[in-house]
Amino acid sequence: MNENSQPGYDIEKYEQYLKIQADKVLTSFEERVHIILLNYPQYTHEQVLEMDEPDAVELAKAAMRRECERTLSLLSVVAAAQNREAYKKMHGALTKSIKELK
């Protein structure tokens, strides 16, 4: 299947989305709280609100990293039926996002 025949498939938009999500983790208190509560059910809302900012940022970054890594794994599985060039671009965008979140 050709990348152009897939509805809504746009690597540049996905790269922008990844960058925006990574920036939100570092800058948006509300986004960090949401990500932590979604990915770490052992924490209550009150515990997350009372967390030190560096701890909250690290937890949120770890959650975003795992999301990128899961997406990368899924991409690898689907890549066999996709355009190789598109796969390389998407792989590069995901690995770059993972490195930026470390």
pLDDT in tens, 11-36: 777 778 777 877 777 788 888 899 99
| Of 96, 97, 98, 77, nearest in space to 87 by CA | 77
Question: Considering the domain boundaries, does residue 20 fall inside one?
Answer: yes
Share of the chain above pLDDT 70, in %: 84
Residue reference for tokens 């967390």: 51
Residue 1 lies in a domain: no
Q: Indicate whether 82 belongs to any domain.
A: yes
Mean pLDDT score of the chain: 79
Q: Does residue 3 belong to any structural domain of this protein?
A: no
44 phi-psi bin (left φ>0, alpha ψ -120 to 50, beta other):
beta
Domain that holds residue 75: 8-100
- Per DSSP, the residues of 9-30 read --HHHHHHHHHHHHHHHHH-HH
Asked if the structure places residue 61 within a domain, the reply is: yes
How many domains in the chain?
1
Do 68 and 97 form a contact (C-beta atoms < 8 A)? Answer: yes
- Is 84 within a domain? yes
